[in-house]
Structure 1
Amino acid sequence: MASAAVAKPERRIACCIGNGSYSHQSNRLQQSANNVNDLGTLFKTLGFDVTTIINGNRERLSQAIKTLTQNVKQGDLIIFYYCGQTYQVNGIDYLIHVDDEQLNSESDVASSALNIQEILNLLSETGKHFAIILVVDSSKIYQLGNARESKSKADVPSSRGIRKINLPRETIVQFACDVDQMVNVITHNDRNTLYTKILLQYMAKEYVHVKDIFKYIENDVYQQTNRQQRPSSANRLSKGLQVFLNYGIVVPKLRIEEFISDAKLSREEEAYFSECKEYYKLTKEPLVCISDEVLARDSSYSCTTLKLAVD
Structure 2
Amino acid sequence: MKRALVIGNDSHEQNNSLLTCVNDANDMHDALQTIGFNVLCKTNQRLDDMKIATDAFIQCIQPGDIAFFYFSGHASQVDGINYLTPTDDRGITLRTIKYRTLIAQKLIHDVSQRRPGLFIIVLDCCRTGMSDDSSNVKSFFGLTSKRIKDGLAPMQAPPSTTISYACAPDQASLAGSSKQHNSAYTCFLLSYIVLPMDIKKVFQRTAIDVQKSTRSMQIPYLNVNCYGPAYIVDSFMANNPAAQNFLQRRRPCVYLRYTPEKWHKYYIWDCNWKKFIIGLSLSLGYYIYLLNLSYATALKMFSFSFHSFISLFALLFSLFVTCTGLPLLKFHSTKIIYSTKLQTLIWIIFKNVLFLTVSIILCNLIGTLAASVLLFPSFISQNSSRLNHLNTQRFLIIFFIILIGNSAGLISPLGDPPLYMGYTNGVEFLFTFKYLYKIFFVSNGYILLLFALIDFINAWNYKKAQKQNNINNQLYELVPCQKEKNDRYDLSSSLPVQWNGIHHSFFLLLILIVILCKGFDIPIKWPEYIQELILFLIAFLCIGFDMIWKKQTPIEWFKKHYSTRIEPVAEVIVIFVGLLFTMSAPIAVLTSLKLPLGPKHLFVFSGIFASVLDNAPVYISFAASAAARYNITVDQSDNNGFLAVFFSRYEADAITSIRAISAGSVLMGGCTLIGNAPNMIVALMATRYSYRTRTKIHRAENAEDDFVNYHLENISFIRSLITSCLILIPLFVIITIFMV
| TM-score bracket for this pair, using the shorter chain length | 0.7 to 0.9
CA contact (8 A) 1:203 1:246 kept: no
The answer to whether the aligner puts 1:109 opposite 2:104 as a matched pair is no
The answer to whether the aligner puts 1:125 opposite 2:103 as a matched pair is no
More strand per residue: 1 or 2?
1
Q: Cα deviation per residue 1:153-211 (whole Å; 9 max; x = unaligned)? A: 43467652111212111000100010111143544311001110011111111x21110
Q: Give the match for residue 198 of structure 1.
A: 188
What is the CA distance between 1:130 and its match in structure 2?
A: 1.3
Q: Give the match for residue 19 of structure 2.
A: 30
Q: Give the match for residue 218 of structure 1.
A: 207
Question: What are the equivalent positions in structure 2 for 1:1-311 lying under 5 Å apart?
Answer: 11-24=1-14, 26-103=15-92, 105-127=93-115, 129-144=116-131, 146=133, 152-155=141-144, 159-184=149-174, 186-205=176-195, 207-239=196-228, 241-245=229-233, 247=235, 248=237, 249-250=240-241, 251-253=243-245, 310-311=552-553
Q: State the distance in 2 between where 1:190 and 1:246 align.
A: 31
Q: State the distance in 1 between where 2:143 and 2:201 align.
A: 40
- The 3 A distance-change label for structure 1 pair 143 and 180 is closer
The 3-state SS of whatever aligns with 1:27 is: coil
Runs of 4+ in 1 over 2 A off after TM superposition: 142-159, 183-188, 241-247, 252-256
What is the CA distance between 1:243 and its match in structure 2?
A: 2.2
Equivalenced residue count is 245
What is the CA distance between 1:310 and its match in structure 2?
A: 3.7
**Cα RMSD for the two superposed structures:** 2.5
CA contact (8 A) 2:77 2:129 kept: no
- The 3 A distance-change label for structure 1 pair 13 and 148 is farther
More helix per residue: 1 or 2?
2
Structure 2 runs not aligned, ≥5 long:
250-550, 554-740
TM-score normalised according to structure 1 size: 0.72
- The 3 A distance-change label for structure 1 pair 146 and 27 is farther
Structure 1 runs not aligned, ≥5 long:
1-10, 257-308
CA contact (8 A) 2:126 2:172 kept: yes
AA paired with 1:144? S
TM-score normalised according to structure 2 size: 0.31
AA paired with 1:138? C
CA contact (8 A) 2:130 2:150 kept: no
The 3-state SS of whatever aligns with 1:100 is: coil
AA paired with 1:67? A
What is the CA distance between 1:47 and its match in structure 2?
A: 1.0
State which drifts further: 196-205 or 138-147: 138-147
- The 3 A distance-change label for structure 1 pair 155 and 181 is closer
The 3-state SS of whatever aligns with 1:107 is: coil
Q: Which has the larger radius of gyration?
A: 2
CA contact (8 A) 1:30 1:188 kept: yes
Q: State the distance in 2 between where 1:53 and 1:148 align.
A: 34
Q: State the percentage of identical aligned residues.
A: 23
The 3-state SS of whatever aligns with 1:227 is: coil
What is the CA distance between 1:102 and its match in structure 2?
A: 1.6
Q: State the distance in 2 between where 1:159 and 1:64 align.
A: 28
Q: State the distance in 1 between where 2:215 and 2:161 align.
A: 30
CA contact (8 A) 2:165 2:222 kept: yes
Q: State the distance in 2 between where 1:77 and 1:29 align.
A: 30
What is the CA distance between 1:146 and its match in structure 2?
A: 4.6
Q: State the distance in 1 between where 2:164 and 2:214 align.
A: 17
Q: Cα deviation per residue 1:51-90 (whole Å; 9 max; x = unaligned)? A: 0010111111111111111111132101100001111011
What is the CA distance between 1:42 and its match in structure 2?
A: 1.6
AA paired with 1:44? Q
Q: Cα deviation per residue 1:94-128 (whole Å; 9 max; x = unaligned)? A: 1011111121x21211222111011011111032x
Q: State the distance in 2 between where 1:225 and 1:138 align.
A: 16
The 3-state SS of whatever aligns with 2:190 is: helix
CA contact (8 A) 1:27 1:143 kept: no
Q: State the distance in 2 between where 1:246 and 1:220 align.
A: 24
Q: Cα deviation per residue 1:229-278 (whole Å; 9 max; x = unaligned)? A: 10000011113x4323455234233879xxxxxxxxxxxxxxxxxxxxxx
Q: State the distance in 1 between where 2:42 and 2:142 align.
A: 33
The 3-state SS of whatever aligns with 1:229 is: coil
- The 3 A distance-change label for structure 1 pair 55 and 38 is same
> Greater relative contact order (Cα 8 A, min sep 6): structure 1 or 2?
1
Q: Cα deviation per residue 1:209-238 (whole Å; 9 max; x = unaligned)? A: 110011101111111111111000001111
CA contact (8 A) 1:14 1:49 kept: yes
Q: Cα deviation per residue 1:21-69 (whole Å; 9 max; x = unaligned)? A: 1003x52111111011111112111111010010111111111111111
